[in-house]
Amino acid sequence: MLQYNVRDILADPRIVITVEETLDLPSITFGKEEIPIVQPPAVQGKIRNVEGNVLEFRGVVHLTVKMPCSRCMTDVEVPLTPEFSQRFIPAEGLGTAEPDEEAEVFSEYRLDLSDFVVNEIRLGIPMKVLCREDCKGLCPKCGHNLNEGPCGCDLREEDPRWDALKSLLQNQDRHGMEQEV
């Protein structure tokens, strides 16, 4: 997949190779995780001989991954459309352009874009996703999904430093009531 014979385009810069492939990629490793791909990556792009046998691949991938919401852990389907542009130079020294540190090298007229595209997909994966903007997350005490309603836990912050003040206020309240009586 995503392998192209570029002998013709190197010989004739007027030739443009149209890339249109759907990848058989059920999941992608991202750090220590394996992220399921629910809508297979559809790659669209063009390979052009841009200058002195430097090939440029420019395109976009459409895919959908499934990731857990970073607050409530519910699976979310996340559509991604990473765009990219990359230059490739032939290892055989066919290129006459200035050395380009960001260019990748290919050999024997075979341009294999699969590693590059998979890496671009990986770069397009967000670190965090939310199931919705105002996701309430999970109850820190019982783990209940708070989007489904309250769980009944007392979630007020308990800070021991306030205890003294609290008892002071309670005493005042009692005084106030006594005065009213």
Identity of the residue, 54 or 69, whose beta carbon is nearer to Zn ion in the bound complex = 69
- Our measurement of the distance from residue 64's CA atom to the centroid of its chain's CA atoms, rounded to an integer in Å, reads 10
Identity of the residue, 117 or 138, whose beta carbon is nearer to Zn ion in the bound complex = 138
Give kind and range of the element (H or E) at residue 133: none
Looking at the DSSP assignment, which residues form a beta bridge with residue 46?
A: 18, 58
Q: CA–CA separation, 150 vs 33, rounded Å?
A: 31
Q: How many residues bind Zn ion, per CB under 5 A?
A: 11
Tokens 């190779």 -> residue:
17
Residues 66-85 close enough to bind Zn ion by CB under 5 A: 69, 71-72
Least distance in Å: CB of 60 to Zn ion? 28
Residues 102-161 close enough to bind Zn ion by CB under 5 A: 131, 135, 139, 141-142, 144, 151, 153
Least distance in Å: CB of 125 to Zn ion? 17
What phi and psi values does residue 76 have, to the nearest 5 degrees?
-125, 135
- Our measurement of the distance from residue 153's CA atom to the centroid of its chain's CA atoms, rounded to an integer in Å, reads 34
Least distance in Å: CB of 144 to Zn ion? 5
Task: Identify the three-state secondary structure at position 29.
Answer: strand
Identity of the residue, 142 or 169, whose beta carbon is nearer to Zn ion in the bound complex = 142
**Residue numbers at the binding site for Zn ion (CB under 5 A):** 69, 71-72, 131, 135, 139, 141-142, 144, 151, 153
